[in-house]
């Protein structure tokens, strides 16, 4: 079975972000030193077995396709490998969690 591409993994992380925040929680956006906006997630909205991925989701969960692809292009091979190694084993679990939102709208 072919491995998912890094862009697909980043997209999965970005989609997961939408399930992590709401206007009433502690999710916030901050500008990083590079000028990119990062999202601080309320980890209580993330299933416990996926919480180890929150730091990567905060960094790589970029909702805009162009910005996400630019971030991937700027990343070092080691950074891309770290992301793939971290997310790939949880890909099915992430997908199952995201699928659970089909019955309700995801938050911004």
Read off the pLDDT of residues 76-102 as tens digits, 9 standing for 90 and up: 999 999 989 998 999 999 999 888 887
CA angle, corner 83, sides to 33 and 69, nearest 5?
A: 65
62 — pLDDT class (breaks 50, 70, 90): confident
Contact present, 68 and 11 (Cβ < 8 Å): yes
Residue 30: its pLDDT value, please? 47
pTM above 0.75, yes or no: no
- 69, two tokens: 């692809």
């Amino acid at each position: 079975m072919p491995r998912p591409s890094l862009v697909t993994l980043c997209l999965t992380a970005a989609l997961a972000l939408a399930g992590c925040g709401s206007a009433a929680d502690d999710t916030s956006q901050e500008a990083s030193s590079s000028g990119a906006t990062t999202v601080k997630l309320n980890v209580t909205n993330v299933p416990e077995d996926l919480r180890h991925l929150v730091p990567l989701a905060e960094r790589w969960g970029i909702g805009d396709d162009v910005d996400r692809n630019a971030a991937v292009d700027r990343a070092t091979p080691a950074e891309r490998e770290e992301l793939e190694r971290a997310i790939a084993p949880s890909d099915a679990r992430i997908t199952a969690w995201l699928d659970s939102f089909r019955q309700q709208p995801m938050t911004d």
